[in-house]
Structures are given as structure tokens and as C-alpha cells.
Structure 1
Amino acid sequence: MTATTTGPILVTGCSSGIGLATADLLVKAGHIVYATARRPETLAALETAGAHTMALDVTSEESMEAAVKGIEAEHERVGVLVNNAGYGEYGTVEETDLDKVRTMFETNVFGLARLTQLVLPGMRAARAGRIVNIGSMGGRITFPVGGYYHATKYAVEAITDALRNEVRPFGISVSLVEPGLIRTGFEEVALTSAAATPDGDSPYAALLAASAASTSGGYANPALATGPERVASTILKAVESRHPRSRYVVTPAARALITARTVGGDRVWDAIVRQQFKH
């Protein structure tokens, strides 16, 4: 596909990280890009680069409807939806505040699902369209202290697999991008989650400290982590490829971990986890 045939591209979560890098690369590739974020003032650089910018809160029905209707008023349909908005609320299963977990699900899962519902009628009418969901290697592997975040990404895996086969007859393709460790500031948000902060009174204090050390070390290791530009280039492939793949795993380390989990089973995976989270 070319920039003239994809139609306008709606990207969520563009204030920083993967969303910012993706919107910028898509603009440079000649696409019509609608870069969105909850706080549109964070999108000034993308607007200067040539993107259309607008406020979009994926936890607000009114905000999502307004964004999609605005694009459809200009272009009849959203050509490509890149569901990128998301974050991590970390902590042990026992100690994490479930209200905060519900809020994370609203962003990572229900916002993605609802925005998809809103763009599909236009795509079906045109018998063309693409949806690119940004998942994670964390949708196929699970580390302690990240169980609820992983659950949101496992949900994205299931939704994407179902959707891909539901909309194929309408000429719509669906791809899932599964990044490994990407230096975006994600880890800072995750590590400062209230339930992820080591507390001497917590029965999990040693585990939380080991998790913080392992996470920080992983993101600081150039052999394990990379920048958001790597993910952006993968998303560009998913958008422009004549025959997009159903899944794109980003980083060799992510592929290795997914393979270890799939091939090795629980015994091998638990041994990896015990080694990595010694406490």
C-alpha cells in the first residue's frame, strides 16, 4: 500500500514514546496522520512536523466519538487505526489496588476495543482498512509484579486474534505488534506504581526490590532494550505492506523469551523467573 491508498491514519497515545515516534515516521513517509493524546498541548512538535493533532481520551466515549466523526467528516473513513495508548500499573496480585487496575483496563483494553468499534463501520463500507494493535511480549509471557498489566496485554492478544478473522471478509487487515523492552519512560511509570514501590512492611518487599532492580537493569541494557523508533518502523511496515503479517515481535530478546515460554513450558519458565528475580 502507498500513502495515497491507506487513507488517514489515526494514532492514539502520541504524547511520547512509541506513539510520538510512530506518528512522526508516518508523516515523513507521506501519510495523512491524525496524532492524538489526552493533552493536545503535548503534540506541538508533531503538528509542526505536519501531523493533524487532536485531543483524544480513550477512556471517554464522547472524546472517542468526536475524534472518529471529525476524521470521517473530512475523509469519509479512518483508513488505518493504530491503537497505541496504554500504560502499566504494577504490583503484586495481592497488594495492587483493584480500582487502579480497572482504570488501566479502561485504557489498555476497553479504549482499544471501543475505538475499534467506532472505526469499523466506515472501513466495512469502503471494504478496506487496517487496524494495528500495539500489544507487548507481555501478552505472551508473564513476570511477577506485572500480572495485571500482563492481563491487559493478554486481552489485547485475544481481541486481536478474534477481530482478524471477523473482519477479513470485509477487506480489513488486523496486525498485532509485540514490542520487548522499549525505552519510552514506561518503566518509570510502572516502577512508581504505588503497589510496586518496595515497602518494608510488605511481605513482598524483597520481591518488589528484586523486580525494580531487574526492570531497571533490563531497560539500561542495550542488548535487551531499544528505542521507540524501532517499533515505529515496524508499525510502518504493518501499515504499508501489501500482505501485512498477523504478528510482529520487536527485539531479538523478546523473541527469545517468547520462544522459551512456548517451548520450555512452566518448568523452564519458572526457572528463568527464579533466576531473574532472586530475592
Structure 2
Amino acid sequence: MAKTVLVTGASSGIGEATAIYLAQAGYTVYGAARRTDKLQALAVYGIRPVTLDVTDDASMTGCIATIAREAGAVDVLVNNAGLGSYGALEDVPMAEAKNQIDINLFGTARLIQLVLPAMRKNKWGKIVNISSVGGKVGLPMGSWYHASKFAVEGLSDSLRNEVRPFGIDVIVIEPGGTKSEMISIGGNDLQRVSGKTVYKPQADRLVKMYDDIEKNAVEPVEIAKLIKKGIEARRPRARYVGGGMAGVMLFFRKILSDKLFDRLIISQMK
């Protein structure tokens, strides 16, 4: 019997590519997003659209209840819904900071809470949390984004050993540069928030750096392939890395001191 997968943030980018890739591989896929109009195009692949706002508890509980009613349970949860909003810490309004943490961290955690009871009952489940190279490497002007992704990494590490006795695997995906709306949205946010403040010189340099990252970005389906590899592995790795410059960045983060790594980052912002 085909496993049932819930992919959040399925209206574009990695989420859309993952939903399509897994549906083509024979999974029963529910694609979830707030922008349900964009999900209708996925129907041709047999993907079932479902409305989901990861900042709204009623929406999340309703989503899981719908899938339970129609398919029995969520076997594989792909926590992909996320927000990449940028700006100097001094400039970012706290309401925007809280919204980013709410989407990237608390929404992820709440959906995990909702799917775990059925996974434990079935003694099988896969929880895939989409982190980022930005969950290991912090860039200037991205304090809240990186804080949220570092938190997803820590949450996943703790959760992995909590649920392993129940036959449930927790897998972290760390994409590097990937073609999606997030790069352009992040650049626009950066200019909106800090483009006219004392941080403008840094913001301008970082936008140029984003442009360079976008040139080396991979297609979202490459990340979808990593996700499929992880959920089909008998003993999945804790982390899978892919995307533009991902391996290089994590390698240098591992071998360099903080001071030398800071110099490397700054050198890329000229």
C-alpha cells in the first residue's frame, strides 16, 4: 500500500518539486499551502491539495484530520513551509521576527505533534525537516532566519532520539542555493528593511552576493531527490546536504575557526 505523504509549502519551489517527484514515484501525496489556487495545477500529478496555514492551529489540526479521514494517517511529513526574511537585527520589527519564528519553527513543531500519535500507533513514520545551510552558517542581515533554522536543527537532533524507539525517523535536509522564490523575496525584504538605514552598504553587498548564489543555484528537484533518498533509506542519515555551494560552505564552517570563517564570509560581500 502506498505511503501517504504531507508536503507543506507545496505551492512553489522545493515543496512543489517534492510533491510532484514523490507522486510520480507512487506515493499518495497531499500538497499543502495557504495559496490553494496555486495548488490546483498539481492535480494533474494526482496530488491532493489541502489548505494549510502553519501559523494557525485550527488550520493545522484541520489539515491532519482531513488526511486521517481520507487516507488513514500521515506516514511521511515533509516540513517544508518556511519564510526567508532578511534585514539587520536592529531594523527588523519584532512582529516580523516573531512571524518568521512562528512559521519556520513553531509551525514545524506543531505539525510534528499532530502526526506523531498515528506514527507511534503504526510503529513507522518519517519526519523530514527542511533546514538549510543557514542552519549551520549565519550570514549578516539574516539573524532571525538563521535563528529559526539553527533551532530546527536542534529540535530535530533532540526529537530524533525521542521517537526512534517507536520506529520513527527524523531527517534533516540542508539545501544550499536552490532556485526558488525565497532568494528574490529575501533580497527584496532586505532592501525594504535595511536598504535606507545605516546598514545600507552591507545590504547592497549582500544583495549582490544573493545574485551570485542564484547563478549557482540548483533546480528544486535536486533537493526532492535527497528527500526521497532519505525517506526510502532503511537507516537514513540524520542529515542530507545538497544545492549550490552547500558542501563547500559546510566544509569550511567545519575546518575554520570562527574568526577565519567570518573573514571568508566578509570577503564574499565585496
What TM-score, normalized by structure 1, do the two folds share? 0.93
- How many residues are paired up? 270
CA deviation after TM superposition for structure 1 residue 197, in Å: 5.3
CA deviation after TM superposition for structure 1 residue 72, in Å: 1.2
Q: Which residue of 1 aligns with 2:235?
A: 243
Q: Does 1:122 align with 2:118?
A: yes
Q: Which residue of 1 aligns with 2:201?
A: 206
Q: Does 1:229 align with 2:221?
A: yes
* Residues in 2 aligned to 1:199 and 1:231: alpha-carbon distance in whole angstroms: 31
Secondary structure of the structure 2 residue equivalent to 1:11? strand
Q: Which residue of 2 aligns with 1:271?
A: 263
Give unmatched runs, 5+ long, in structure 1. none
Letter in 2 for 1:63: S
* Residues in 2 aligned to 1:131 and 1:189: alpha-carbon distance in whole angstroms: 27
CA deviation after TM superposition for structure 1 residue 146, in Å: 1.0
Q: Deviations over 1:251-279 (max 9, x none)?
A: 3621111121121021211111220123x
Q: Deviations over 1:92-122 (max 9, x none)?
A: 1111111101011111100000000000001
Q: Which residue of 1 aligns with 2:213?
A: 218
* Residues in 2 aligned to 1:215 and 1:253: alpha-carbon distance in whole angstroms: 12
Q: Does 1:56 align with 2:37?
A: no
Q: Aligned match of 1:94 in 86, 90, 96?
A: 90
Q: Which residue of 2 aligns with 1:136?
A: 132
Identity %: 40
Secondary structure of the structure 2 residue equivalent to 1:143? coil
Q: Is the 8 A contact 2:5 2:27 kept in 1?
A: yes
Q: Is the 8 A contact 2:190 2:203 kept in 1?
A: no
Give unmatched runs, 5+ long, in structure 2. none
Q: Aligned match of 1:162 in 158, 161, 181?
A: 158
Secondary structure of the structure 1 residue equivalent to 2:100? helix
Q: Is the 8 A contact 2:33 2:53 kept in 1?
A: yes
CA deviation after TM superposition for structure 1 residue 218, in Å: 1.6
Q: Which segments of structure 1 move beyond 3 Å, counting only runs of 4 or more?
A: 194-200
Q: Does 1:260 align with 2:255?
A: no
Q: Is the 8 A contact 2:87 2:194 kept in 1?
A: no
Question: 191-200 or 45-54, which moves further after superposition?
Answer: 191-200
Letter in 1 for 2:253: R
Q: Is the 8 A contact 1:82 1:131 kept in 2?
A: yes
* Residues in 2 aligned to 1:58 and 1:198: alpha-carbon distance in whole angstroms: 27
* Residues in 1 aligned to 2:182 and 2:141: alpha-carbon distance in whole angstroms: 15
Secondary structure of the structure 2 residue equivalent to 1:18? helix
Question: 191-200 or 154-163, which moves further after superposition?
Answer: 191-200
